[in-house]
């Protein structure tokens, strides 16, 4: 298939043919003959500065060493290129991106719903559920909907949500204090920053007062 036809095309780098789709072509890293700048700053495979050269001069050096010329900082003036193995460069780049994704923790907001007439058993069940969410690293949205005439007793709703915040205790920290949005009262609690599994330090035992010296025994 000729280059540019269909949704895929290929390019040859370092003697290897690599298939590219249109999306990857847009973010394609320039290398070897694709580098179009008039002059570039060149770093060799050992990290040594070779100075500012014309691309064809740098590419000649790379070819003599059996390596590629890869543009690593295209926005610099002049662009920075490095002599290295292009295939290994892509592998290391992909490896570092995968590692960065693993370190990213996706925060999920999970909701527990209350009502003004919530009974004690239901309240405790939802409170315990919220504590598990927080211990698992998720945020919790506690919400309470007022229905009909219950809007005249919003203080009861605030009392329930404030009690919930207090009962959660050190498991979480309040990110948004209770607020009204229409007929719904809600608050958002984030996980505590304490490392998972770490328990609060027990209070230090009270110090005993020093004992008075024993009286001298009679001779």
CA angle 84, 94, 23 (to 5 degrees): 100
User: Which tens digit of pLDDT belongs to each residue from 71-121?
Assistant: 999 989 999 999 999 999 888 888 888 888 877 777 788 999 999 999 999
Residues 6+ apart with CB under 8 A from 62: 32, 68, 69, 83
Q: Give me the pLDDT at residue 18, please.
A: 41
* 148, 153, 155, 158 alpha-carbon torsion, rounded to 10°: -20
Determine contact, residues 53/40, Cβ cutoff 8 Å.
Answer: yes
Q: Give me the pLDDT at residue 187, please.
A: 94
Q: Give me the pLDDT at residue 98, please.
A: 86
Predicted TM-score (pTM) of this structure = 0.45
Determine contact, residues 40/80, Cβ cutoff 8 Å.
Answer: yes
Q: Give me the pLDDT at residue 63, please.
A: 94
Q: Give me the pLDDT at residue 193, please.
A: 75
Q: Give me the pLDDT at residue 78, please.
A: 92
Residues of the chain with pLDDT under 70: 1-27, 194-219
Q: Give me the pLDDT at residue 108, please.
A: 84
Q: Give me the pLDDT at residue 106, please.
A: 74
Q: Give me the pLDDT at residue 29, please.
A: 85
Instruction: Report how far residue 50's alpha carbon sits from residue 57's, in angstroms, rounded to the nearest whole number.
Output: 11
């Amino acid at each position: 298939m000729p280059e540019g036809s269909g949704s895929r095309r290929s390019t040859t780098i370092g003697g290897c043919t690599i298939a590219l789709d249109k999306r990857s072509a847009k973010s394609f890293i320039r290398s070897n003959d694709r580098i179009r700048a008039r002059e570039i700053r060149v770093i060799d495979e050992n990290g040594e500065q070779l100075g500012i050269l014309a691309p064809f001069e740098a590419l000649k050096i790379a070819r003599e060493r059996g390596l590629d010329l890869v543009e690593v900082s295209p926005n610099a003036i002049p662009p920075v290129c490095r002599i290295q193995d292009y295939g290994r460069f892509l592998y290391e780049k992909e490896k570092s991106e995968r590692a960065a994704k693993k370190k990213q923790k996706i925060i999920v907001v999970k909701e527990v719903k209350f009502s003004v007439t919530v009974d004690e058993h239901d309240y405790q069940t939802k409170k315990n559920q919220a504590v598990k969410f927080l211990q698992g690293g998720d945020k919790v949205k506690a919400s309470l909907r007022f229905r009909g005439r219950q809007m005249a007793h919003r203080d009861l709703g605030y009392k329930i949500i404030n009690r919930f915040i207090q009962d959660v205790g050190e498991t979480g920290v309040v990110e948004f204090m209770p607020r009204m949005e229409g007929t719904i009262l809600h608050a958002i609690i984030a996980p505590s920053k304490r490392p998972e599994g770490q328990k609060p330090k027990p209070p230090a035992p009270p110090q005993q007062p020093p004992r008075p010296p024993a009286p001298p025994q009679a001779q």
